[in-house]
Amino acid sequence: EAQVTQNPRYLITVTGKKLTVTCSQNMNHEYMSWYRQDPGLGLRQIYYSMNVEVTDKGDVPEGYKVSRKEKRNFPLILESPSPNQTSLYFCASRGADRVYGELFFGEGSRLTVL
Amino acid sequence: GEDVEQSLFLSVREGDSSVINCTYTDSSSTYLYWYKQEPGAGLQLLTYIFSNMDMKQDQRLTVLLNKKDKHLSLRIADTQTGDSAIYFCARGGGFKTIFGAGTRLFVKA
């Protein structure tokens, strides 16, 4: 089954404690992206990756890091989480077609930073 | 999204039609999309329209695109309780997809 898998789905942590949210896709997609969803603001892009070892900042990259060492995986790293990073996070992937771009989303990771 | 706007809430009665509206400012997108987010789940593509089309119909869904006014709408006929969800308008530009804030559709039985 084609899917994007995120872990953990739910996490409560404390300010400053490094955490990683993993994302894996089994569709051989070149493009992967992280979004955060906040009430009234919709989806905002954090980072994206066009392919292995190619990453770039989205609209709200501050406080986040990513890596793309393998095509299927795109982890999101919060080196020193702060309460304003409490949010619902989505990983998404799409194929290489530059024009038509259906995004396939994971189920989301709800993060609370105390 | 900075240039995709939609109202945040819509409430309809079961069996009525729902119309969710969206406006955007950048007209360079080739495709415009509607994604649906059900409670506790990620977004799934519901339908899309190519920018040179005015209308697209897919069963209960009708998408209308007014390029002059930069206005996109999604009409759901015979709305059911299972249609209760958040609907996101999005436009595609190269590899970047810009999303609106989402419209939460409430369906009253």
| Residue A94: Cβ within 10 Å count | 21
Chain A residues whose beta carbon lies within 8 Å of the beta carbon of residue B99:
35, 42-43
Summarised one tens digit per residue, pLDDT across range B9-39 is: 999 999 999 999 999 988 787 889 999 999 9
d(CA A109, CA B32): 26
Name which of A35, A43, A99 is nearest B30 (Cβ-Cβ): A99
| pLDDT on residue A40 | 84
Q: Is A101 on the interface with B (CB under 8 A)?
A: yes
Nearest-CA distance from A95 to chain B in Å?
10
Q: What is the DSSP string of B49-66?
A: EETT-SEEEETTEEEEEE
* CB-based contact A55:A49 (threshold 8 Å): yes
| Record: contact B1-A42, CB cut-off 8 A | yes
Share of chain A above pLDDT 70, in %: 99
Chain B residues whose beta carbon lies within 8 Å of the beta carbon of residue A101:
31, 92, 95, 97
